Structure 1
């Protein structure tokens, strides 16, 4: 069978600001958590139905002008949520791992959210080879004999491109790269020339039947900076976003100059082979590809969004390479992505400011407008049959922390949000909520008013139950009973020191929490070392903390706190491992950040309901930094371990410099192989 590699090439254009702030909404209960069916009158903002789909570019541009002239645009915009901060039955499969070929079953897999929906990461393995992105290269390493590992091939990318994620299954591998800007000059009367930069993402499909010589067989490009992607079977859906900041002056009716479809809307390009394609070129100056503006019937206008923010979805069959990708562009939103096996959701944050009023003789623009409202806008796209189609729109109060704030289960969407704020002392303290939406994305149930004054730090939905961790000075773990979608309720609550930034199921009745221990200085809480907790969730009404483990001191950190894909987990092998930087302090003061003492893969196990530290694997010099070396440069440098993987009874640790094979039980080094440096 042919093996295929798929590469994604993208360019960073602009990072939209994320407003973390205060918000209020009618119907908030200040006396504690409440639950029950949603009263439609409590919803501050009902989704605005999209206009009938236009069939010409002129109609679409008219809608853009209408969006820009909307007075509400002066009060709010759609902003993005970070992807890495984060899918089950139609919801979570506890401890989900990406699917792998049956021929090589005993190997690690990427920690994913939804069973059957793969997510990209830095390292993949098929049980024989390791596929690693490091040093601006994709390297394929023969790991069948861990004592004699060797690099069999290495794809080099242009110096101006970087990558941080790949896919792999029996026949597919995918990579994401950042190229340079494609320059564009926009000339408008009354304006200085606008020097614009366009972004694009390229998907390349490689045949890797011969791993020593991968062969490019097709490529597809789409405008926009790479946001994320999901893969179901052989179809990968790539999500990109481009912010066309030149749109605003061009939508001004008083400005002379025509807003052409080429400037107003995104474009795509397809090529059956890579002949003549120069990865160093801009998308419209490169050869071998024919760029076309997205067709009007592939464009969806979201009327209350920002016309400059344009998200492009492309579903690409990486096996049937003769098929043209399915394309849909949504104008007006960029945000967090959640994907089930049937639907992809985009979630954007909308901020609504109240009307400014005259007070004490001050000008309107000198008056603080008071608490504002934030809402998470929900846009659903069906992925049925490999096609993309807009299929629903909804809204809930508050903001989310990432993809794990959402879950689709038995036809309902569950969303955990935070409203209000904790920093200004105003009369709108933060509260936390769980909303349930039906297939029409209408609110049908809610639990509101959780943990006033605190914010959500982690969420995990497992079947008919939800687990929400909030924090300000302590860590309440709430268990939410969602058996009846119209009457969700708080089943149990546990308050403990510190907080969990990531929750992971272990068996049927245990939950692992990984986050931070905290100290208190008066009423001020500060993070100390990393904290790993094991919770008993057998009885939803009485969650209990069975065991804790503190690692390092103030200044310790782990990528797992914001990227669940960095977790190496196997319940069958009783393995919990993650990269971490551990520090050591000399006092208990919140002003002292510890000096780094260890960077590597922390390896844990669970025995008799206790968390046990088995040890750690490091690539750094075990004697520590030399007297003239900056310890942070040493521990954050090329020897910093980024991921762990296993094949059989061998544990592999991967840094930019090398791969080290260690015994699974002893953690003793077996061998190492240097990774190719940047070309």
Structure 2
């Protein structure tokens, strides 16, 4: 028997769905509905996803569905289907007594004893009988229609056919029950060969501002000083204007908030000469590890993880019978603790929102806060599922965890995975309003958010049956990125649409929304191959329903995307294998994206940042390309990275982009968090200011290897902040360096330096002062000449 296609494989990209409705009795309203998708091993019946062991297909412009599942969808009971192996025929009896006989290979239906000719006979395939949907549906009294926009066959009682509006997403089915969950997971695994704490922290924090005697007298009547509304201060480097991203350091222009080990340290930073620790939120021993946070004039949101031991029965079935007892297990959750910080003399905790699973990401839009997690399901065929229901805790409702029951868990039927994606939102201005929490059978890898929509992207892999290997020589797998869109409104989250694009994405900057269109950059294929299945890069443009409306494919074959950025009507890509092609894309016409120009230079950029509408800054690594000699054959070449590289690209002439300025830092081994995390960048065009943390490695003469051209790794020379002036006349001008390491630290360092608590992690400014932060110190320097004003030790 041939191997079956895994879940979600769409051969020839052909899909069709059948929506079925049935009347019970002459006067009853339709109470059955279902949908089948070609080559998909799940179908939907009465709003619930169901597993199939064979898949529908199209042949001769007719949609064929496995008889068992089609009969079930039409409301025919299990004992209403009788198979006659001798004659290869099946008799179907509906609940109202109508009898239909079908015979494999015979283009005839016998309906209540009368024969009716049909143009598509039932087929026997892989040991199963498949029925042509149209003829069986019509024989049972259904009306059949066709929705061209969605390639959907519509079946229902006479007069019930209605086309879905083009901008309306089909509702997602639910899991429905625990047994159905197991069936879905078992079916997905068999077809693919595998699958790709209730602690309430109740604290009040008093911030102590440094005060003179006169200030103390004044503050006793007016309360603690509020942040200056006219303060000039830097904010977290974010992707989308108006959509804040959490980080380990935030400032409101007076105070600096820092995630520092198991604490949030709050420092009164202004005036810089009087800088002092004003208070801490200490989570040591409270089963909560802070990761990052948000700060505005009213709220502090601290996001972290918890790990707690849970003792409870393994599982209760629908009849409330316990099935075994499971040993204690660790429940991992992501918790957001929300504080009101308007009164700095007494910050108060408002609420907690806690989701089971691991942290994907979050966003904050005004007073709306959104949190996304993955909860993995530990599942193996034939066994019970550990922690089968998703959990969340919302102290606006109750202090204990709430289980989301199976009828309320939605399913992406084309992508079954052993886990749950949890998406939650709250309105910070409504502390007593229940959180909006939804759960989906599946997972997410990256998120992108505009002010109106949240996009969750996850990469899946398609494997091919043996018959396809001549077309796709082994080993070959094709990956696809699925995108789910959710609408956002004042803390409420609603599923809106889903789509997919060939290939996988790099990170959140591979996605963008502009003027109602969604843009995504992907890499597909294998970079190590040299045939037609080598890697290639693409940009797809989708409408609000995530249907592809424009595509630009096969960019830079043999390379992969190292960075992407979408800015208005343009897109920028950096691909790399031995050199760095910097591509400028025209995205003004969503139906016809095009390459405007390209520049090939040594090195590559890991992160692209807009300078202005005609200039882009690239941060990455410099490289050297080596070929021939002792290390390689004459036709071989390989690129080796050396030091960190910055470049300013001029794209005024979009057809001929130019590298205006470049700056290299250190030698091989030099690294910066900026290359992996955009939030580590401080950039202000108006101040000509650019700064970031960096660890510098330098090769001296004693390390040179004269017999090898391969670049050597350097030895440790510096860790701290590099501060530059940047303008279009002079390019990158080193302003200075700030380190938190002492002379003794450098002497002890030797050839390598580790992740020390003295390593500078973030740089920010308030008014005319520049602040560098490590876990051990906050240093304030004058912005004009970088002279140190004060260094505050964080104990």
Query: TM-score of the superposition, structure 1-length normalised?
Result: 0.80
In structure 2, distance between residues paired with 1:49 and 1:591: 56
| Alignment counterpart, residue 791 of structure 2, candidates 662, 665, 672 | 672
Q: How far has the Cα of 1:358 moved from its partner? A: 12
Matches within 5 A, 1:223-622: 223-245=356-378, 247-249=379-381, 252=382, 255=383, 263-272=387-396, 289-295=399-405, 298-356=408-466, 369-425=474-530, 427-522=532-627, 523-586=637-700, 587=704, 589-590=709-710, 592-607=712-727, 608-622=729-743
Change (3 A) 1:664 1:40: farther
CA contact (8 A) 1:445 1:488 kept: yes
Q: How far has the Cα of 1:163 moved from its partner? A: 2.5
| Alignment counterpart, residue 163 of structure 1, candidates 269, 274, 290 | 290
Q: How far has the Cα of 1:435 moved from its partner? A: 0.6
In structure 1, distance between residues paired with 2:713 and 2:693: 19
Q: How far has the Cα of 1:148 moved from its partner? A: 1.3
In structure 2, distance between residues paired with 1:332 and 1:64: 12
SS of residue in 2 equivalent to 1:178: strand
Q: Deviations over 1:21-78 (max 9, x none)?
A: xxx9999xxxxxxxxxx9999xx99998877645998724354234223356543777
CA contact (8 A) 1:77 1:350 kept: no
In structure 1, distance between residues paired with 2:455 and 2:526: 26
Change (3 A) 1:110 1:358: closer
CA contact (8 A) 1:54 1:296 kept: no
Moved more, 112-121 or 415-424: 415-424
Matches within 5 A, 1:19-168: 53-54=47-48, 59-70=176-187, 74-75=191-192, 103-159=229-285, 161-168=288-295
Change (3 A) 1:639 1:486: same
Change (3 A) 1:527 1:74: farther
Change (3 A) 1:610 1:581: same
Change (3 A) 1:202 1:353: same
Higher relative contact order (Cα pairs below 8 Å, separated by 6+ residues): 1
Q: Deviations over 1:239-290 (max 9, x none)?
A: 1111021x334xx3xx5x6x6xx932212222259xxxxxxxxxxxxxx822
Change (3 A) 1:623 1:520: farther
Q: How far has the Cα of 1:380 moved from its partner? A: 0.9
In structure 2, distance between residues paired with 1:344 and 1:52: 28
CA contact (8 A) 1:47 1:393 kept: no
In structure 1, distance between residues paired with 2:10 and 2:604: 27
In structure 2, distance between residues paired with 1:47 and 1:484: 37
Change (3 A) 1:557 1:339: same
In structure 1, distance between residues paired with 2:310 and 2:41: 37
SS of residue in 1 equivalent to 2:267: strand
CA contact (8 A) 2:724 2:733 kept: yes
CA contact (8 A) 2:530 2:558 kept: no
Q: Deviations over 1:202-235 (max 9, x none)?
A: 2222222343543222222221222210011111
Higher gyration radius (CA): 2
In structure 2, distance between residues paired with 1:667 and 1:446: 48
Is 1:209 aligned to 2:338, yes or no? Answer: no
Q: How far has the Cα of 1:570 moved from its partner? A: 0.8
Number of residues paired by the alignment?
589
Change (3 A) 1:357 1:192: farther
CA contact (8 A) 2:247 2:293 kept: yes
CA contact (8 A) 1:78 1:348 kept: no
Q: Deviations over 1:602-645 (max 9, x none)?
A: 11122305221212111112465235x45534x53111000001
SS of residue in 1 equivalent to 2:785: coil
Change (3 A) 1:195 1:352: farther
Partner of 1:177: 304
Matches within 5 A, 1:584-663: 584-586=698-700, 587=704, 589-590=709-710, 592-607=712-727, 608-622=729-743, 625-627=746-748, 629-630=749-750, 632-633=752-753, 636-663=755-782
Q: Deviations over 1:287-313 (max 9, x none)?
A: x82222125564221123344221111
In structure 1, distance between residues paired with 2:235 and 2:720: 19
Change (3 A) 1:45 1:409: farther
Change (3 A) 1:114 1:45: farther
SS of residue in 2 equivalent to 1:263: coil
In structure 2, distance between residues paired with 1:244 and 1:296: 14
Change (3 A) 1:370 1:649: same
CA contact (8 A) 2:308 2:330 kept: yes
SS of residue in 1 equivalent to 2:185: helix
In structure 1, distance between residues paired with 2:242 and 2:538: 28
CA contact (8 A) 2:389 2:406 kept: no
